[in-house]
Amino acid sequence: MRGTMTAKLFKTGEIVSYAAGVALTGFFLVQIAQGEVERRSGLEQFEQLASVDFADPEAAAAAPAFDDTTGNPDTTLWAPGRVADYEASLKAELPPVIGVLEVPSVGLEVPVYPTDSELAMDRGAGVIDGMAYPHEAGNIGIAGHRDGYFRVLKDVKVGDTLRLQTFEGPKQFKIDNVQIVEISDTHLLQDTYDQTVTLVTCYPFYFVGHAPQRYIVTASLDTTNVNQQ
C-alpha cells in the first residue's frame, strides 16, 4: 500500500514538473518572439529616422520619436522666468524627441530635440544646427539654457559619465574637458572623426542679461563600455 502511494506521488510530481517545464518553455519562446518583434521595430524606426530631414517641418513631424519620459524636471536651480517658459512650452507643438541626455553625477536627464530653437530649449535641449544627431557619427553638439536644465553642468567634473539614449541604442561617454570660451570661439564645434558629445550653454551661469561667454563640456565615447553599438 505504501509503495503504491509512493509511486502515485512520484508520478504526480513527474506530471507537475513536466507541466511546469512546458509552461516555462512557452514563456521563454514568447519572450524571444516579443524581443524579435521589438528588435525589428527598432531597426525599422532607425531606418526611418536615418532618412528624415529635420529641417523639413512636415518630415520632422512624421518622424518616429522617443517618448518624453523625463517627467517633471527638478527646477530648484532654475530661474523663475525659465520655469515659466518651460510651463508655457508644454502647450506648444515641438518636433519629435530624438534622444535623451543623462549626466547622473549632477542629476541631469533631458530630452533632446533636433533643433536648438528657443522653444526646444525651453522644453529640453537641442542639437546645434549643422552638428551630428545622437544616432550619427561625428560631433554631437547639444545646447541648453544656463538658467534651466543645463545649470547643473556647473558641477560636472572631468571623468564623469555622460549617457545618450539614441535610436541606435544607448551610448556612454566620459567627460574629458570643461572649458569657458568667448562667443566667437567655435573651434570646439567642429566635426570629429570619432563620435563625441559637446554640450554648450551660456556663461556665467548667474549672469544678468546676455551672457558674454560659453561654457563647453566635451565627452568622448567610452570604448570600455561593452554595450556600445
Distance between CA atoms of 188 and 193, rounded to whole angstroms? Answer: 13
pLDDT score, position 64:
58
Greater confidence, 209 or 177? 177
Provide the mean pLDDT of the chain. 80
pLDDT digit string, tens, across residues 111-148: 999 999 999 999 999 999 999 999 999 999 999 999 99
pLDDT score, position 100:
95
pLDDT score, position 224:
81
pLDDT at 83 over 60: yes
pLDDT score, position 35:
35
Can you say whether residue 59 is alpha, beta or left, with left for phi > 0 and alpha for psi between -120 and 50 degrees?
alpha
Q: What is the pTM of this model?
A: 0.72
Average pLDDT over residues 12-37: 46
146, three cell numbers: 544656463
**Would you place residue 43 in the very low, low, confident or very high pLDDT band (cuts 50, 70, 90)?**
very low
pLDDT score, position 10:
52
pLDDT score, position 27:
43
The one-letter amino acid at 59 = A
Q: What CATH homologous superfamily does 73-221 map to?
A: Sortase (2.40.260.10)
pLDDT digit string, tens, across residues 182-208: 999 999 999 998 999 999 999 999 998
57, three cell numbers: 517641418
Neighbours of 13 (CB within 10 A): 10
